[in-house]
């Protein structure tokens, strides 16, 4: 699964993305914003590192790598985050429109979110038709 | 769901970590099953039953409530 990566992968990804943020800030002429974005990502990477060292269980829940219970908790947390984000973005979009400040980026994100959701439902429905692999 | 995993495990003098290793899950998962905080999947329930050489029905009873149910 694409969302199940090791703690090391996520730390490396966040550090790399922090560098990309700084680069984008520099390129866009707002280095402060780039550093702020990088700071958040590096803090998140540090939290992943600390959690991974504290316990295999916590590291697993953060990354989705682990046994069936860990994966179940991870999926539940990811689902809730996605669901909450969907409502937040939708409300944000409606409020922006009501204020006469339609945010084109937000509308594009909402459209992408909706399209991805439908695509994932279609994929999950198709995947659920396949026979389950037996476990030895 | 009442689980008999703890009784079976302690009767064999096994630690939660050792049982977890035997059925390829973490110690925390065994603890969660024993305390009724997690219902194992069907494959894991069968793996536990096979390990203890008992029937699944002997290990898990849906008609009785566990400690945290």
For the stretch A45-73, pLDDT in tens is 888 788 777 766 777 777 777 889 988 99
Q: Residues of A at the B interface (Cβ-Cβ below 8 Å)?
A: 56-57, 60, 66-70, 72, 134-135
Q: Helices (DSSP H) in chain B: which residue ranges?
A: 5-11, 16-23, 27-34, 42-52, 56-59
Q: Report the distance separating Cα A72 and Cα B28, nearest Å.
A: 14
Closest chain A residue to the Cα of B48, Cα to Cα: A136
Q: Report the distance separating Cα B19 and Cα A136, nearest Å.
A: 17
- How confident is the model over B17-62, as pLDDT tens digits? 999 999 999 999 999 999 989 999 999 999 999 999 999 998 998 7
What pLDDT does A6 receive? 74
Say if the Cβ atoms of A68 and B29 lie within 8 Å.
yes
**Chain B hits for A56, Cβ within 8 Å:** 26
């Amino acid at each position: 699964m694409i969302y199940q990566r090791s703690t090391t992968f996520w730390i490396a990804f966040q550090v790399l993305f922090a560098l990309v943020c700084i680069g984008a800030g520099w390129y866009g002429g707002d280095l402060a914003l780039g550093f702020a974005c990088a700071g958040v990502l590096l803090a998140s990477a540090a939290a992943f590192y600390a959690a991974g060292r504290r316990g295999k269980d916590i590291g697993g829940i953060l990354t989705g790598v682990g046994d069936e219970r860990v994966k179940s908790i991870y999926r539940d947390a990811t689902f809730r985050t996605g669901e909450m984000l969907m409502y937040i973005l939708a409300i944000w979009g409606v409020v922006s429109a009501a204020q006469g400040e339609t945010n084109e980026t937000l509308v594009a994100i909402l459209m992408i979110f909706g399209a991805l959701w439908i695509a994932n439902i279609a994929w999950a429905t198709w995947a659920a038709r396949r026979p389950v692999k037996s476990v030895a | 769901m009442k689980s008999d995993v703890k009784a079976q495990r302690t009767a064999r003098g096994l630690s939660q970590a050792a049982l977890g290793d035997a059925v390829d899950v973490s110690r925390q998962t065994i603890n969660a099953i024993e305390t009724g905080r997690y219902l194992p999947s069907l494959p894991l329930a069968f793996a536990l039953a096979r390990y203890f050489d008992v029937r699944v029905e002997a290990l898990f009873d849906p008609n009785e409530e566990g400690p945290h149910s």
